Amino acid sequence: MPRPIDTILENRLKKLDKLEAGGTQGFPNDFVPDSDTGLLHRRFDEVPPEVLEAETARFGVAGRIMTLRSMGKACFFHFKDRHGSLQVYVRKDVIGDEQFERFGLFEVGDIVGVVGRVMKTRTGELTLLAEAIRLVTKALRPLPEKFHGLQDLETRFRQRYVDLIMNDWVRELFVTRSRIVSHIRSFLDGRGFLEVETPMMHAIAGGAAARPFVTHHNALDIDLYLRIAPELYLKRLLVGGFERVYEINRNFRNEGLSHKHNPEFTMLEFYWAYATFNDLMSLTEELLGGLFAALRGEPAIEIGGKRISMAPPYRKLPLAESLSVVGGLPPDKVADRDFLTALLRRQEVEVIPAWGIGKLQVEVYDKLVESRIEEPTFIIHHPVETSPLSRRNNENPEVVDRFELIIAGREIANAFSELNDPRDQRQRFEDQMRAREAGDDEAHQVDWDYVRALEYGMPPAAGQGIGIDRLVMLATGMENIKEVILFPLLKPEAAEPDTEEPAES
């Protein structure tokens, strides 16, 4: 028994067969458009019909047929190219019987090339009157419905190509994503930062607290980790003399999936010698203020129906203080070990006795503070206990010169003045090593070569990471990270016979 979809595929194949039997190629590669929908709209949308009558120029365009209205000896269709869509008017008495008959075998989804002149319809819509039309690519599968388009989330993510064909807003979202990345690159390039690429396959997965993916190199017969952060390599470059470096690329973390987490995600990390985390806060304000102003015309975002100003300066709030100011704790209890432990237990957090006051504070912060912060806020001075790579604060050695930028309850950036004392670094790695031995498999792995690099002397520097996916979510108002990643990770589809060859007729 043929499945219903097979009938549709066969019908389309039959049309292709007929076209090819008549000498028409189904997949030629020699049609070159000399114009596009954007260009024609810009040039002719405002031109009155009678002026178009006198226009002698001919334009060649190519794109995918999206809707088609046939009326016997004439036909209107809309097609899409990368700039937008345009209507085409095909008349039998203009293109001739033979060509019109061939055109009758074209259908929605096909990619066509049209050469013609511009005109306006009765309703004033700019239209290309076809003088020649040919098939460029035959589509064997039908497009989703023209009015509702493709809605099903799973299909949209699995078959993103169809999503992009049907949903203009999706296409625009990914253009925005690309613009954001371009903006960041030119912002940093303009300030003397050098873009570099560091390894994605690490023998030691360092630079963050996270579980890595493991892979295997056959010839060397060693296990390697997909990187969880580029941090330690970028700082080796500071040692090497590149005083301003950045990298925009993928990190991989072997954690659960959620609407905020994709196993591979894109991070910007940059490092700036002879600067401190205070300089980074100013730079971040400049970067984000400028970015959102460039994207939206004003430094503001819209999220969950709420408007959030992105105009600098942003609030600065020490983490310990945020527990009372935002979290509502009594100010005299924010460093009270028993109080914090009891509080966390009520929140069903499994408190490990080895945790110091700093770790307890961070846990409470994660539970009670972060999600409540809306306006851009730098949470500063994290405990040294949870920041093994950050420089201690000069006045209070229990905290580090670090900030996380929180916007709309989400962490957008994490930055700190870098620790460059190899003695302190060695000590903190040893602490992490003990934590690992105590069963914390997210404690940092020890990277002794990194300590060796520091022993050659790393200039004082500040470094920052910005999650690009989450920044794009913020900029586009999306609540699901899969909406801003072209091909998000999904479980494999069950073997679906839908992709089998249809039976030859």
Site for RNA in 348-367 (CB under 7 A): 348-349, 366-367
For position 163 contacting RNA by CB under 7 A, the verdict is no
Measured distance CA(231)–CA(464) in Å, rounded: 9
For position 486 contacting RNA by CB under 7 A, the verdict is no
For position 210 contacting RNA by CB under 7 A, the verdict is yes
With respect to RNA, which residue has the nearer C-beta, 205 or 239? 205
With respect to RNA, which residue has the nearer C-beta, 238 or 413? 413
Site for RNA in 19-58 (CB under 7 A): none
34's CB contacts (< 8 A; 6+ apart) are 59, 60
451, 422 Cβ separation under 8 angstroms: yes
Site string (457-476) toward RNA, x via CB under 7 A:
----------x-xx------
Q: 418, exposed or middle or buried, with CB in 10 Å at 0-12, 13-18, 19+?
A: buried
299, 309 Cβ separation under 8 angstroms: yes
- State the maximum Cα–Cα separation within the chain, in Å, rounded to a whole number: 89
For position 292 contacting RNA by CB under 7 A, the verdict is no
Of 21, 50, 72, 346, the one binding RNA by CB under 7 A: 72
Q: 382, exposed or middle or buried, with CB in 10 Å at 0-12, 13-18, 19+?
A: buried
| Helices 357-368 and 337-346, axial angle in degrees (round to 10) | 40
Query: At its nearest, how many Å lie between RNA and the CB of residue 471?
Result: 10
Closest residue by Cα to residue 60 from 81, 91, 74? 81
Of 83, 183, 260, 392, the one binding RNA by CB under 7 A: 260
Query: At its nearest, how many Å lie between RNA and the CB of residue 30?
Result: 27
With respect to RNA, which residue has the nearer C-beta, 273 or 467? 467
With respect to RNA, which residue has the nearer C-beta, 239 or 323? 323
Site string (331-350) toward RNA, x via CB under 7 A:
----------------xxx-
Q: Segment near RNA (CB under 7 A), from 146-154, 189-197, 374-382, 424-432?
A: 146-154
For position 67 contacting RNA by CB under 7 A, the verdict is yes
CA distances from 67 to 62, 70, 109, 285 (A): 15, 10, 8, 46
Closest residue by Cα to residue 389 from 271, 284, 504? 271
With respect to RNA, which residue has the nearer C-beta, 67 or 198? 67
With respect to RNA, which residue has the nearer C-beta, 36 or 404? 404
